[in-house]
Amino acid sequence: MKIPQLKKKSEIKTCHGISWEDNYSWIHQDNILEVLKDSKKLNPEVRKYLEEENSYTDFHLSDTKNIKKKLFDEIKGRIKLDDESIPFKDFDYEYWTKTTTKGNYSIKLRKKIGTKNIEEIWNGDEEKEKLGVKYFGVGDLEVSFNDKYLAYSLDTKGSEYYTIYIRDIKTKKLVTEKIEETSGVITFSLDDKYIFYSKLDENHRPRKIYRHKLGSNTRDDHLIFEEKSEAFTVGISLSSDDKYFFINTSDHNTSEQYYFSVDEKKPNPKLIKERHKGILYSVNSWNGRFYNHTNENAEDFKIDVTNNLEKPNWKNFISPKEEVLIGGLTFLNDWIIRSETSNALDKLFVRNITTEIEEELIFSDEKVFVPGISLAQRDKNTDNIYLGYSSPKTPGKTYSYNLRSKEKKLVKKEEIPSGHNPDDYVVERVNCVSHDGRLVPLTITKHKNTKLDGTAHLLLYGYGSYGSSMSPSFSTTRLSLIDRDIVWVTAHIRGGMERGMKWWKEGKLLNKKNTFEDYIASAKYLIENKYTSKNKIIGMGGSAGGLLMGAVVNQASELFLGMIMAVPFVDSLTTNLDHSLPLTIGEFDEFGNAKDKKDHFEYIYSYAPYNNIKKKDYPHILITTSLSDNRVLFDEPAKFTAKLREYKTDNNILLLKTEMNAGHGGKSGRDGAIEEIALDYAFALKIAQKI
């Protein structure tokens, strides 16, 4: 089949005295945010190219049709399709969700406490069918405190422009007009007369908080807070004791918070602490005290406490620890629960408020696992919580746990209908030495029968941005590769916070290349220690993890058999220079500001995947993107693919798949998500010659 060719139109770009040629910049439309809302506005020539790439991908993956179907059935067969969540006990009702064999979306249910009559208050499949849309993204689903109203937000394009609806649960009739172009998050007032929401500006940034009176015209909505900085975005939440609303405004690196009482008739947000660059803080209130989770004078965070916010006298409550990330607090009347993260592993601690004795909650004798807690009810006068647990080989388990008696009872276990034996799998945690001596944690999962003599193929997953830590939890999907003798390794590289705030700082801004070096060091370690061999590693990452894949494949392509890049941030220099795009300004403290700072420009220019494609051999590459993605525009992977076709000197396959009705997270619905995973895995098995 003929290889798709994107027309070249040379444009010479210049910044800080440096010039470079971009032959494919023309595909970016000035009205790109309008295109995200309405795909009919897409340049017809660009649409034709994307469709040709889709046909080319289908052609080259035509021999994977059977394995894709098999993978889809396998993955779906490991999911208990007709399942129910554990109920949460509100004051008058218990609420929970369920899924069905045929449905793709969840159903929300409730029953009055003490009765057996179950009500269905939301059915995602029915709502989607009613709207007649191809994409159906649910942003938020909230019930009012008086249990009368259901508020929900929907994105029907994939572009994350959410419309809010509020309806009477009994009559199912809308009680107020829809509110468009919001961030999707909904917060009810305690008297249920209002909702609070954040509105998106013309650059798709939530910078205004409004209060809407139910039943009123949206033109009368009251603006209660506006963020003036284009780099900051805002959100609103209720305190743990239901006494205050907190407005948080932040970028990735700096935050500022305001508060007002829940009974203020005209909300007047008051500042807690002025913002200072690099200082993050988050205040919550409980039982007449205010708790501040902050990195001020505590790189890996601490928690301070005070009795009032008007004239605060902050005192230490949880002290900082070196390279141990201190998490937030969960409150009950007699207990405070908190988390810590170190060496890419989480721990949970519980404190008796009366005795002030703190103990670690011990979950398992497994070395690598993910703990979690959730509240069982809204009433905080209880000793009971839910404890959650999973590991790379052990499906999730949830226990009802009594904090006082320490009794626990299994209340839910993740069922694998097609069968699963944890003893068939081996999980290892090792550390590899990076280029500068830093130890990078690797979580390795393999089938017990897979030989570690260098013959096995290996999938190396990485992300490494925004301080986002990769959790070593159970995944039913990965088993489809692991069962076929492909070792799965998650590299906990810098840019995340697996080793605390320093781990993030060492992987961003002018340290970003450490992220790539950590990943390459991980690949070399796995080769040297016979987990795999050169040309048997398949790299995988999405979004900022796609930036990682793009930078690494330019730098060390010889190590890899293939790359799977999902919605990849590969034209990072062009995006960073465009301050009108939704995320750019808010990410100056993550990636830098190339337009205004020469050193930032030179650094990004030196690693940006699109700008650093070389005339050399590249491995097999599958790139997936979505037409309505507002976070990483489809034109980034499209340009990257076109330029890579022009430069690469090998005969390996290079495929671009564009979902025409999807967003940053891919297609909506359970089956849609499984289809995308099956495509990725079929590609991996094809290049590993396992089909």
56 in a domain, yes or no? Answer: yes
C-beta neighbour count of 60 within 10 angstroms: 17
The torsion region of residue 342 among left (phi > 0), alpha (psi -120 to 50) and beta comes to: beta
- In terms of C-beta density within 10 A (0-12 exposed, 13-18 middle, 19 or more buried), how is residue 84 classed? middle
Residue in the block written with tokens 């948080």: 248
Asked if residue 639 is part of any domain, the answer here is yes
> In which domain, by residue range, is 627 found?
13-77+567-691
Q: CA–CA separation, 448 vs 465, rounded Å? A: 32
Q: Look up residue 226 and give its amino acid.
A: E
pLDDT band at 417 (very low <50, low <70, confident <90, very high): very high
pLDDT score at 379: 96
**548 within a domain of the structure (yes/no):** no
In a domain, 521, yes or no: no
654-659/620-626 β-pairing: parallel
Give a yes or no: residue 439 inside a domain. no
- Identify whether residues 46 and 113 lie together within a single domain: no
Q: What is the mean pLDDT of residues 619-639?
A: 97
Cα(590)–Cα(543) distance, integer angstroms? 14
Helix (H) or strand (E) holding 127: helix 124-131
What DSSP line would sit under 236-268, residue for residue?
Answer: EEE-TTSSEEEEEEE-SS-EEEEEEETT-SS--
Last residue of a domain, one of 92, 122, 152: 122
638 and 623 in a single domain? The answer is yes
What token pair was written down for 183?
């961030």
Q: How high is the pLDDT of residue 363?
A: 78
- Do 93 and 379 meet the contact criterion of CB atoms below 8 Å apart? no
19 and 113 in one domain?
no
The answer to whether residue 580 sits within a structural domain is yes
Q: 195-243: per-residue pLDDT in tens?
A: 999 999 999 999 999 999 999 999 999 999 999 999 999 999 999 999 9
Mean of the pLDDT values across residues 165-184?
97
pLDDT at 65 over 90: yes
- Give 447-485 pLDDT, tens digit per residue: 999 999 999 999 999 999 999 999 999 999 999 999 999
Is residue 46 domain-shared with residue 17, that is, in the same domain? yes
Residue 365 has pLDDT above 90, yes or no: no
Q: How confident is the model at residue 364 (pLDDT cuts 50, 70, 90)?
A: confident
**Which H or E run contains 326?**
strand 325-331
C-alpha span between 252 and 249 (Å, rounded):
10
Q: Tokens 């405004």 identify what position?
A: 249
Q: Do 71 and 51 fall into the same domain? A: yes
pLDDT band at 550 (very low <50, low <70, confident <90, very high): very high
Check whether residue 608 and residue 679 sit in a common domain.
yes
315-354 burial, b if ≥16 CB within 10 A, otherwise e? eebbebbebebbbebbbbebbbbbbbbbebbbbbebbeee
Rounded percentage of the chain residues whose pLDDT exceeds 70: 100
Residue identified by tokens 């993550």 is 590
Q: Same domain, yes or no, for 608 and 642?
A: yes
Whether residue 691 has pLDDT greater than 90? no
Provide the pLDDT for residue 452: 96
- pLDDT given for residue 106 in this prediction: 98
Residue 73 CA to residue 669 CA, distance in Å, equals: 16
Q: Is residue 520 part of a domain?
A: no
Question: The domain spanning residue 64 has which CATH number?
Answer: 3.40.50.1820
Question: Residue 621 corresponds to which amino acid?
Answer: I
- Residue 389 forms beta bridges with which residues? 371, 397
Domain membership of residue 391 (yes or no) is: no
For residue range 642-658, what is the model confidence (pLDDT) as tens digits?
999 999 999 999 999 99
Nearest alpha carbon to residue 37 among 480, 629, 461: 629
* Tens-digit pLDDT profile for residues 575-618: 999 999 999 999 999 999 999 999 999 999 999 999 999 999 99
Catalytic amino acids?
Answer: 543, 629, 664
- Report the 10 Å Cβ neighbour count for 416: 16
Strand segments, DSSP code E, in 16-135 are 18-22, 83-84, 88-89, 93-99, 107-112, 118-123
* Helices 544-556, 513-528: crossing angle, 10 deg rounding: 60
Number of domains in the chain: 2
Query: Contacts from 131-136 at CB under 8 Å and sequence distance 24+?
Result: 131/156, 134/661, 135/628, 135/661, 135/662, 135/663, 135/667, 135/668, 136/105, 136/668, 136/669
Prediction pTM value: 0.96
